[in-house]
């Protein structure tokens, strides 16, 4: 796999440089860290929101830093959790006295390092709460996780908790609405090709020319089943079936996210969306809003995930609230 | 190359279905056509803007249909111009009596078919003007084109002409500002992997494991040179050098677009952007706004293009104007 990079060991630093210079009006890098914050952080009186994780999932997470969404994103090396000291720097940079919520995807390394950072921050007198996102219905445990993995549904947590913080919610209120999103969001994905970590230089796994991996994780962790590549309609059916088995969406208002994992043409994402929408209509669900694009990727993996979020009036209002984050628009 | 599709012969229809159901509040499909229009088309008193071309370049062009941008996009088969009768349907659907501007990428088939549609519309009493975008500095003629090709810079034409139409500009005013953008915009791209047209089932060209094609077109047409894959910094330097040789950007205010061709991780686009920004700063240019993402793709081709647009106050204001198009946000 060819890469357009300078030095495989320096991709994260180079990426951050490129991101900050692309959006100099809205974000900044904390000097000597891999932390991106809102340019105006800390925002007086506002709860701070910090997320992050391994790099390679762009636009997650730095693309979601902005007014109405995250206050900071911490970038680890590719597919590697950021260290506790980096997370601590982010917490300190966004705390204005109202406390900080950590939004953590459920991977063992992330949970451990973010929790350690929370303890360090609390020792410095900062009030910290955390939520752990585990929206992936594919597998209960995996090579990277105890319990379910956090994948694209995390973006809805960023958006909705971010809107709640922006409108002045307290730390407990912001945490409560983040937990509500986590209870109501489910995702599952499929991959048709692997990805290559730049420093590793070879694909993380192999798939035969006619195979796909159902229930893939965003680091290429194994899913449920490896089988012949199915049609878009079959894939849409299989992913939504598994989601519906896990949570009853009947007669709900839902937000839909069709997320490309990196190399999949947008044409194919729209084709999958067409079937997903037909399935939801058949089941009596009302689609409130749909997002099609790349939100939580896995380098140049080909494939997609489907995320459904059950909405009530509060979640709709917060989902619709304005945001200046470069990678999300309502 | 594996595809997430249903029937390779039906990808365009399926994609349109998925796009319309994703954005039912802002766009609609003209029955029995491959034309997507604004939901409220025709907009009374407003000049109508129509663009389009072969499919496979998503989000171009249907993703740019919305308030403040295009009134209609016509989708041809993959990498194939739409037929004149489809373009005519689009013109008729968006004309409110104020006339229609066609924004055509410079490919022989597109120019011919859009011109034929314009003549047919004029015979029906509709006032039609056209502009042809030819921003690609790589090659003067190609297998698909007489003269330069139109690539990602086209999106700036859509945005700025769309804003002018939205604020009530006359057909001549909208055409004039579109031509101003065309005079001021330049692009060039590089590919590290080919793409596969679904109905063809095999890659459109081949590249060795260590090769890239400099000056590639968005249908895999040959560029200037095939050579060893360079670093991101070298690629940024080569693309901007060629652009600067073509048009003097010294001391200008510019908009920058780093466009992914389909399979390139966003991380790599940001890495390229970092160097492009450094080069522009070195040359005394002032970057007004930067766009990093997928705007004009070539299915799952890996690679990127760099687009620079020289801005004056009028173009800045129109670039910043709001738009509801799903794939563009200012």
Q: List the single residue in A210, A231, A292 with the smallest CB-CB distance to B22.
A: A292
Question: pLDDT tens digits, residue range A150-190?
Answer: 999 999 999 999 999 999 999 999 999 999 999 999 999 99
pLDDT value at A205 more than 90: no
pLDDT value at B215 more than 60: yes
The 3-class secondary structure across A56-72, one letter per residue, is CCCCCCHHHECCCCECE
Residue A202 near chain B (CB below 8 Å) = no
DSSP string for A139-194: -SSBTTBSSPPP-TTHHHHHHHHHHHHHTT--HHHHHHHHHHHHHHEEEEEEEEE-
Q: List the single residue in B2, B262, B268 with the smallest CB-CB distance to A5.
A: B268
- Mean pLDDT to the nearest integer, A231-255: 97
Scan residues 2-61 of A and list those with Cβ closer than 8 Å to B: 2-7, 11, 14-19, 21-23, 55-56, 58-59
Q: What is the pLDDT of residue A84?
A: 98
Q: List the single residue in A58, A235, A265 with the smallest CB-CB distance to B270.
A: A58
pLDDT value at B330 more than 60: no
Peptide bond into B15 cis (omega under 30): no
At B140, is the pLDDT very low, low, confident or very high (cuts 50, 70, 90)? confident
Chain A residue numbers with beta carbons less than 8 Å from the beta carbon of B18 are 269-275, 277, 292
Per the annotation, the verdict on A219 as an active-site residue is yes
Question: pLDDT tens digits, residue range B270-286?
Answer: 999 999 999 999 999 99
Percent of all residues in chain B with a pLDDT value above 70, rounded to a whole number: 99
Scan residues 281-310 of B and list those with Cβ closer than 8 Å to A: 287, 290-292, 294, 297, 299-300, 302-304
Q: What is the pLDDT of residue A44?
A: 97
- Mean pLDDT to the nearest integer, B79-104: 98
ipTM associated with this complex: 0.96
CA separation for the pair B179, A318 (Å, rounded): 41
CA separation for the pair A239, A275 (Å, rounded): 11
pLDDT value at B115 more than 70: yes
Q: A265–B192: do the CB atoms touch at under 8 Å? A: no
Lowest-pLDDT choice from A16-25, A59-68, A92-101, A198-207? A198-207
Lowest-pLDDT choice from A13-27, B28-42, B217-231, B262-276? B217-231
User: DSSP character for A234?
Assistant: H
pTM: 0.96
Q: List the single residue in A21, A272, A275 with the smallest CB-CB distance to B273.
A: A21
Mean pLDDT in chain B? Answer: 96
Q: What is the pLDDT of residue A294?
A: 97
Per the annotation, the verdict on B219 as an active-site residue is yes
Longest distance between any two alpha carbons in chain B, whole Å: 55
CA atoms within 13 A on the CB side of A328: 35
- Mean pLDDT to the nearest integer, B238-243: 97
Q: Name the residue in chain B with its Cα closest to that of A195.
A: B265
pLDDT value at B144 more than 80: no
Nearest chain B CA: its distance from A258 CA (Å): 10
Q: A271–B14: do the CB atoms touch at under 8 Å? A: yes
> Which domains are assigned to chain A?
9-184 (3.40.50.10440), 185-320 (3.30.1180.20)
């Amino acid at each position: 796999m060819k890469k357009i990079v300078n030095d495989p060991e320096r991709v994260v630093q180079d990426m951050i440089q490129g991101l900050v210079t692309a959006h100099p009006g809205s974000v900044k890098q904390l000097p000597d860290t891999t932390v991106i914050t809102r340019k105006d952080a800390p925002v007086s009186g506002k709860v701070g929101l910090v997320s992050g994780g391994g790099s390679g999932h762009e636009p997650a997470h730095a693309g979601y830093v902005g007014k109405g969404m995250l206050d900071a994103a911490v970038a680890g090396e590719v597919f590697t959790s950021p260290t506790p000291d980096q997370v601590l720097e982010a917490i300190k940079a966004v705390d204005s006295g109202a406390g900080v919520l950590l939004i953590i995807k459920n991977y063992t390394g992330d949970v451990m390092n973010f929790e350690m950072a929370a303890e360090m921050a609390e020792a410095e007198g900062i009030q910290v709460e955390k939520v752990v996102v585990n929206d992936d219905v594919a597998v209960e445990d995996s090579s990277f996780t105890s319990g379910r993995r956090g994948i694209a549904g995390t973006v809805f947590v960023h958006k909705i908790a971010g809107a709640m913080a922006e409108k002045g919610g307290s730390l407990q209120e912001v945490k409560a609405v983040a937990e509500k999103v986590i209870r109501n969001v489910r995702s599952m994905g499929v991959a048709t090709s692997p990805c290559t970590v730049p420093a590793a230089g070879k694909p993380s796994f192999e798939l035969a020319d006619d195979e796909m991996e159902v229930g893939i994780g965003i680091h290429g962790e194994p899913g449920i089943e490896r089988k012949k590549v199915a049609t878009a309609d079959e894939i849409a059916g299989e992913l939504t079936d598994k989601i519906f088995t896990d949570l009853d969406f009947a007669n709900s208002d839902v937000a839909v996210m069709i997320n490309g994992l990196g190399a999949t043409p947008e044409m194919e994402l729209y084709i999958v969306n067409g079937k997903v929408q037909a399935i939801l209509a058949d089941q009596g669900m009302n689609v409130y809003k749909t997002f099609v694009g790349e939100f939580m990727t896995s380098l140049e993996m080909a494939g997609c995930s489907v995320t459904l979020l059950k909405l009530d009036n509060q979640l709709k209002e917060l989902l619709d609230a304005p945001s200046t984050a470069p990678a999300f628009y309502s």
